[in-house]
Amino acid sequence: MKAITGFFMAWGNFCFIPCPVKKWDENARIHMLMMLPLLGILMGILWYGLFLLIQLFDIHFFAAAVFMACYPLVISGFIHLDGFMDCHDAIFSRQSLEKKREILKDPRAGAFAVASAISVAVVLFGTMASMLDRLDGGDISAGRFIMLIYIMTAPRAVAAIDVIRKKPMETSQYNRPLQTGKGKAIVFIAVLFLAAMAICGALSLHTGSGMGLLRTVIFLQTPWLVSFAAGSAASSQLGGMSGDIAGYEVVWGEMAGVAALALI
């Protein structure tokens, strides 16, 4: 029952689509984190569905690239992008730890935040336009886009595990003791993540991604490794884990995943 509550909590907090069940249970917070990768799978399926609709209606690749690039930012209600921008403002300020934390909580967007958001938009649009153009030219096949499901899942799995296992900042919303069962939660998330990796990889190869086995295996490591590295660097710079850093991880992982999908 708490798992279901946790899923609706994750949906209501981390997805733009209105959640039909408005429920919050403080004791189900760990279940909310457990369900984050599952939410990522569902949002990834919708991303792939958007691609299929674009193909069905034969939308020009330039306009299609705008829709495809905006989707991962819009579907999360820009909440992860907000954390991404806040972290860049704080980290690149190169101030003391206390000052970095003040900047992290400042609702105003600084120059580094704006520059980072523009960079994300450029990378997502450029890589999507490149893939869609190559698809129209016959250089790659539609099977490659199945990996969009995995790209939405892997960074959320890493972010959820990091929130559970890492020491939170004193000012973080997660600076409250999670209930017991952290080990089981991490195992559950890892199983979801590995299942998404295996299934998406197999489907992409089966439907003809054009990457081959070796490049597929290399690609599958990119989103979660980049997310992990980004989260480790940010938590080290800011002295603990927070929701902003989780969003930072998610955006870095999605951006790296889409870029790798276009380049590999």
Condensed to tens digits (0 to 9), the pLDDT of residues 71-105 reads 999 999 999 999 999 999 999 988 998 889 888 88
Helix axes 212-238, 97-105, angle to 10 degrees: 110
- What is the reported pLDDT for 178? 63
pLDDT-based confidence at 219, cuts 50/70/90? Answer: very high
Nearest-angstrom CA–CA distance, 260 and 258: 5
12 C-beta neighbours (distance < 10 Å), count: 17
CB of 145 closer than 8 Å to CB of 48: yes
CB of 133 closer than 8 Å to CB of 61: yes
CB of 171 closer than 8 Å to CB of 101: yes
User: How much is the average pLDDT of 51-59?
Assistant: 92
Q: In percent, how much of the chain has pLDDT > 70?
A: 96
pLDDT-based confidence at 176, cuts 50/70/90? Answer: low
Please give the mean pLDDT across all residues of the chain: 90
